[in-house]
Amino acid sequence: IDNFGMMTEKYRPYEQIRIVKGKAGNPERQNATLISLVRNKELYLMLGSIQQLESRFNKDYNYDWVFLNDEPFTEKFIELTSAMVSGTARYGIIPYEHWSYPDYVDAKKAKDIRTSRKWQSITYGSSESYRHMCRYNSMFFYKHPIMDDYQYYWRVEPEVDFFCDIMYDPFRFMVDNKKDYGFTLTLTEIAKTIETLWSTSEQYFQREDIKSQLPSGEDSLLNFMSDDNGTTYNLCHYWTNFEIANLDFYRSEIYENYVNHLDHAGGFFYERWGDAPVHTIAVSKMMRKDQVHLFLDISYKHTVAGSCPLDDSLYKKAHCICDPEHDWSITSESSCNLQFLEVAGQPKLQDALKYEA
């Protein structure tokens, strides 16, 4: 299918523009896909991510790989990425209404804010596209019709590394263990980008009809994201550039109403709300702790942060190449991984204490 011809400013074709068939795949595959939101100019960084995840994992499974973009992919992008993935590659364009201002947000006000002094010194503070991207990853990626075909996704960005073989199918793990959200790293958010996110979220979650649906007490992950029993957000967030999750969660009414509430408040544009704190607050409010999993045995790195498995026997079996002595997730002040493990009651890997000491 090639409907580039139909592109106009206000209209973008909704369906995928191209399917490149790959291997039929391992019959043990789950109903799942890899997914990358990516720009054409990131082609070579994307190839690096694909090559590593294919050789460390997907060559044995051939899961589909969905590529999404707010612009048409170039022929070269399609040619080189589809040659690198083992499964079927699908390319989709994001519809205009998912990457533009809703009528209840004042685009002029948003521009005045992001070009003001305050935002110049904040990472991506003056970027308009970054805000569309964060909003897209918060409330639209799962609504792309390509995604209707799947129940689980694994998000993969350009410029990531996988330092060990992945010794099992994480999608299968999610299904078998009834996990709905999985991650590898956590970070603390820049406070200035989300000044009103917690209070806006609380307006929603404190509603009696919503609150009654949320896990509480021992089941709750509240203490992962708040150090004062919910009064304030401690800025800890699952680092969403890696996430493996159940799409049904995002398709639920309670999630949909949450992100619509956020969107009407305008903070994706008037502040710079990231999809990471949004996913984190949603997941940690709505899921029981046993539904959320930290993949300690998947070694992952993206730009500033990375992890290495703290298990010497796994390290050898999985042909790792990272340095466990400098595992960012346990050495960095900005990591919340240990706090997660404690709150969730998830056990550490067998040699963790040796490396933490």
Segment interacting with Mn ion, rule: CB under 5 A, options 73-81, 151-159, 219-227, 257-265: 151-159
Q: How many residues bind ligand GDP (CB under 6 A)?
A: 11
Strand 152-155 with 243-246, pairing: antiparallel
Catalytic residue (one of 54, 189, 243, 271): 243
DSSP calls for 109-169: HHHHHHTSHHHHTSTTTT-HHHHHHHHHHHHTGGGSGGGGG-SEEEE--SSEEE-S---S-
126 contributes a contact to ligand GDP by CB under 6 A: no
Q: Residue 223 or 329: which CB sits closer to Mn ion? A: 329
> CB of residue 230 vs ligand GDP: minimum separation in angstroms?
27
293 within 8 A of 186, measured Cβ to Cβ: no
Q: Residue 63 or 315: which CB sits closer to ligand GDP? A: 63
Segment 36 to 65, residues that bind Mn ion, using CB under 5 A = none
CA distances, 11 to each of 69, 71, 98, 219 (Å): 14, 11, 11, 45
Q: Residue 46 or 336: which CB sits closer to Mn ion? A: 46
* Length, in residues, of the chain: 357
Q: Residue 156 or 221: which CB sits closer to ligand GDP? A: 156
Among 157, 256, 290, 351, binds Mn ion (CB under 5 A): 157
> CB of residue 189 vs Mn ion: minimum separation in angstroms?
14
> CB of residue 134 vs ligand GDP: minimum separation in angstroms?
8
37 contributes a contact to ligand GDP by CB under 6 A: yes
Among 43, 85, 133, 281, binds ligand GDP (CB under 6 A): 133
Residue 88 contact, options Mn ion, ligand GDP, none, Cβ 5-8 Å cut-off depending on partner type: none
| 217 secondary structure, DSSP code | G
CA distances, 342 to each of 224, 276, 355 (Å): 9, 21, 17
Q: In 131-204, at which residue ranges do the beta strands (DSSP E only) sit?
A: 152-155, 160-162, 181-183, 186-188
3-state helix, strand, coil in the chain (%, to 5): 45, 15, 40
Distance of CA 24 to the CA centre of its chain: 26
Identity of the residue numbered 231: T
324 within 8 A of 307, measured Cβ to Cβ: no
129 contributes a contact to ligand GDP by CB under 6 A: yes
> CB of residue 128 vs ligand GDP: minimum separation in angstroms?
9
42 contributes a contact to ligand GDP by CB under 6 A: yes
Place of tokens 């291997």: 23
| 60 secondary structure, DSSP code | G
The 3-state DSSP class for residue 154 equals strand
At 89, which helix (H) or strand (E)? strand 89-93
69 contributes a contact to ligand GDP by CB under 6 A: yes
- x-or-dash string of contact with Mn ion, 102-141, rule CB under 5 A: ----------------------------------------
CA distances, 303 to each of 138, 256, 307 (Å): 21, 31, 12
Please count the other Cβ atoms lying within 10 Å of the Cβ belonging to residue 240: 22
Q: Residue 156 or 314: which CB sits closer to Mn ion? A: 156
Active site residue 243: yes
Is 108 exposed, middle or buried, given 0-12, 13-18 or 19+ CB atoms closer than 10 A? exposed
- x-or-dash string of contact with Mn ion, 235-274, rule CB under 5 A: ------x---------------------------------
> CB of residue 202 vs Mn ion: minimum separation in angstroms?
28
Residue 243 contact, options ligand GDP, Mn ion, none, Cβ 5-8 Å cut-off depending on partner type: none
CA distance 295 to 156: 15
Q: Residue 110 or 286: which CB sits closer to ligand GDP? A: 110
Q: Which residues bind Mn ion (CB under 5 A)?
A: 157, 241
Catalytic residues: 243
- Binding positions for ligand GDP, rule: CB under 6 A: 37-39, 42, 69-70, 129, 133, 157-158, 241
